[in-house]
Structure 1
Amino acid sequence: MSSLSETNQRKLGNTGESLARSWLESQGYVCLAQNVYTRQGELDLVMQEGETLVFVEVKLRRSARQGSPLEAITPLKQSRLIQAARYYLFKHPHQGPLRFDALGLQKQSDGTLVYTHIKNAIQSD
């Protein structure tokens, strides 16, 4: 059974991922998968930009007090994302280029969201 805070975190994460997906689609990306769970970790979004397969890690912050959303992508989290992506590629082979992006959503005091999209934010071997 999950605690209330885990449930709230999951809801916040799902909200952030849905907002990120819509924003990326408005930028011309195509969503191939959302919330892909593996033993290695979770892939928030699997998108395609042209021929490039893009794994997107999404972080949403409700206020600046919690720091930048992108600061939450630790080296351990990056390693798990890479492992989850390898598993995804094993199940869904892709011959073209691929990359790992980070998309931070920061809620401002006036309620608006600021999107920070960093392409190639995570490097793999």
Structure 2
Amino acid sequence: MLNKIKAKAAHLIRGENAEEQAYRFLLAKGLEPVCRNFRCKQGELDLIMLDKQTLVIIEVRFRKSDKYGSALESVTQKKQSRIIAATHHYLSADKTDRPIRFDVIAISGNGTIDWIQNAF
């Protein structure tokens, strides 16, 4: 049981590190932070940032290897639906007239970062 707890903790740490890496990457690209880790019953929005006048909802995915599919492939239709539902919830409290875009930051185990704008 203790090993299972340690493995989960290591997995969470890798996820947090990937999210921080994505956050810094996007800051360097000129995006402005709005919110991190917005949680609601519909799901979680990893990063919410502004790209000029566009509100960008960013899903960060990390895969140590492509053995079970790439980081990008892990953003399934079901995952996209949950992100969209969580975005509706976020916008119900923080209304905006800004255009909205959904991006994915896919980070592989070798450190490669792929930024897919308008991913869905």
TM (norm. structure 1) is 0.86
1:56 aligns with 2:54: no
Q: Counterpart of 1:28?
A: 30
Distance 2:52 2:95 in 1: 16
Aligned mates of 1:46, 1:3 — CA distance in 2: 30
Partner of 2:79: 77
Consecutive unaligned residues of structure 1, counting only runs of 5 or more, are: none
Q: Hey, what does 1:116 align to over in structure 2?
A: 114
User: How many pairs align?
Assistant: 117
Q: Which piece of structure 1 moves more, 8-17 or 75-84?
A: 8-17
- Residues 28 and 82 of structure 1, relative CA distance in 2, 3 Å threshold: same
Q: Give the TM-score of the pair, scaled to structure 2.
A: 0.90
Equivalent AA in structure 2 for residue 83 of structure 1: A
Q: Which 10-residue stretch deviates more, 50-59 or 113-122? A: 113-122
Which residue of 53, 67, 70 corresponds with 1:68?
A: 70
Separation in 2, partners of 1:92, 1:6: 33
Alpha-carbon distance, 1:11 to partner: 1.8
Are residue 93 (structure 1) and residue 91 (structure 2) matched?
no
Answer 1 or 2: which has greater strand percent.
1
How far has the Cα of 1:92 moved from its partner?
1.0
Paired letter, 2:81: S
* CA distance in 2 between partners of 1:76 and 1:45 (Å): 19
- Please tell me the root mean square deviation across aligned C-alpha atoms, in Å: 1.5
Q: Which amino acid is the alignment partner of residue 33 of structure 1?
A: C
Matched residue type, 1:54: V
SS at match of 2:102: strand
Does the residue aligned with 1:104 lie in a helix, a strand or coil? strand
Deviation at 1:3, TM superposition (A): 4.1
